[in-house]
Structure 1
Amino acid sequence: MVNENGPTFVTLGMFIIDEFIFLNDQGQPTGRTLAPQIGGGGTYAAIGARIWLPARQIGMIVDKGHDFPVLIHRELLRYGPDMWNFREQETGTTRALNSYRGDHRNFEYLTPRIRITPRDLSNSKLENCAMLHFICSPTRANAIMSEIHEVNGWAPTTIYEPIPDRCVPEELPSLTKVLPFISILSPNAEEALALLSLPLPPTRSSIERAAGMFLDIGVGTEGGGWVIIRSGGMGAYLKARNTEGLWVNAFWTNKDAGKIVDVTGAGNSFLGGLAAGLFFTSGNVEEATLYATVSASFTIEQEGLPTVIQSPDLSQEKWNDDSPQRRLELLKMRHRKQ
């Protein structure tokens, strides 16, 4: 049975508890420590959407193991209990280790992954969402789309983010199979070039070329689709078939180095913000990308998730002691001046 009042945005990304090790270039401990933090691309995407949408319009499954920290549970609830669908697990909570050696970051899972699929949304408050976000290999994206097609009458806007370690040329045949059914394909610049065997480092021209190649391969041929290549300080490049490509500036650039603390999760929160923007602009991808850019701007200002505080009368929210709407208007003004 399909819930006709499903949420606006749901992510299939996993909830992860991140642990950290910091080493210098020679592999020796730096002495820096960081307590375990809330992690997972899906979590950052959900918060990116939450910056704009009320918690009741967002959904994410959180697999809660026997070792789930009380402090992390409380922190999640601060964003609104309605957005989290907790599932009790007899095993431990999914954990991953982030190892930093100088400027290089390595990521590895410490526990088995509990993958989430569209079938997990059935018969819950998360079914029949308007927009569905997933982070996975192209091979698994095909399986996810097959499950979506099994649900009669459900045709969500699909926001697909290829998982970094599977952005390799060998995955291109699987990607080609799924692209016609994807509404929005959004790798970052390095991932896009790696999938297409284009040389690094990224440049504006190579990013534009990659977007065109993805469209030629077949993004959205079953009903229109967009490629949005997230490009860090360069901004984001978006293009659809038979349209001119468009660059949207980053909110914080390399000139604002003091504002950029940790870019972890920025791309994920960008896509959650994009979904919220699509909701507010009735599907205008170009305008929605401005919302996405603002969501990313809050994510990179600290290690971990941005903070939210409600006004005493509950009429307004501030994120990192600033207004998302103020940043949105400022970003729109910058683009009007170009």
Structure 2
Amino acid sequence: MREDPTGRALQLLSLLQTHRLWRAGELAERLEVTERTVRRDVDRLRELGYPVDATTGKYGGYRLATGAHVPPLLLDDDEAVAVAIGLRYAATTAISGIEETSLRSLMKIEQFLPHRLRRRVSALHGSVTSMPWPSDDHVVDPDALSVLAAACRDHENVRFDYRRQDGEHSRRLVQPHQLVTVSRRWYLVAWDHHRGDWRTFRLDRLREPRTVGTSFTPLEIPGGAASFVAQSIGPGLPQRSATLAVRATFAELDDVLRWIDHTPIGVEADTSLVQIHSEDLGRLAMAVARIALTAPVSVAEPAELADIVARLAAHLTVPVP
């Protein structure tokens, strides 16, 4: 039995933050304690402000719920660095109003980072330069993004007003399946009820999405969401590509590659070959760094990106004085 209540509570919190339903017996086995001790530790987390829901019965258990306020988050070193890096570069996205919010959040996180982690974040920021993007009106409403993301997750029909490329407006009723990002553009892949076919919608041309109170059974997107969008929009895809060798299987890389525009190439021994795409070398380097948090990675080509990543790695491993 684990005798460290604080360490055990942190481990319990880490398990609950996966937001799955955990049975008391499962938690007791993971923590090497009794179910009675699990109940006491859950009560301790509740006292600290973490909203833990409990259900009884044959399929009952514990789940971390959404509360009225944000309690402290538990992050390990790599997670803290990833969050700080993500917030810094969220300021360059095309989501309306997120730039200032991201920088405020970053300031709060960086002031609590240990010196060794702050040096890693600073080295990455100092080694990567983002290509300036011309200002335009093609920004995404964050509220609309939230509505559509929830509708994709919950399989709910959505109605919205849509402006086509020729300027014509129409009302659409769709089954939203997947959101896809291409450079700074956001797209929704959905089954259009009126057209009776799959359609791609640019989120910056979409207004006032709302659920209509009905659900649907999800379908299989032809070729996958990313490929469908690529075929739909044609020209205008990212201009730069790089080939990487990653010491992991594609299954192990699934969580990180889903956020990166990529094309699987193949597997050699214990190494996966993948091609990543973006509009400049700086963003390609960011993608390499993100993958490196999951598994060892090397740049096969182009050589100029390999040089950038080598300098980045050297800066990240500079010893602390």
Which TM class, normalised by the smaller chain length? under 0.3
Q: Report the TM-score when normalising by structure 2.
A: 0.27
- Structure possessing the higher relative contact order (Cα contacts under 8 Å, 6 or more residues apart): 1
Greater radius of gyration (CA): 2
Q: Report the TM-score when normalising by structure 1.
A: 0.26
